[in-house]
Amino acid sequence: MTRANEEHRGFGANIVERLIPHRRPFLFVDRVKRFRLGEVRAIEAALQISVNDPVFDGHFPNWTVWPGVHVVEGLGQTAQLLATLDAIRRAGAERDDEGLGLRTLDALDAAYSLRPSAAPSEEGLSMLKELSNSPVVGLASRIDMRLLEPVFPGCRLDYRVEWTLEQNGVLGFDVEASVGGRPVARGELGASVNTRIPLP
Per the annotation, the verdict on 59 as an active-site residue is yes
**Using an 8 Å Cβ cutoff, are 159 and 75 in contact?**
yes
Residues 6+ apart with CB under 8 A from 115: 109
**Using an 8 Å Cβ cutoff, are 135 and 169 in contact?**
no
169's torsion region: left (phi>0), alpha (psi -120 to 50) or beta? left
Estimate to the nearest angstrom the gap between the alpha carbon of 1 and the chain centroid: 22
Candidates 159, 168, 4, 17; CA nearest to 86 is 4
* Residues forming a β-bridge with 146: 186
Query: Of 8, 22, 59, 70, which residue is the catalytic one?
Result: 59
Active site residues: 59
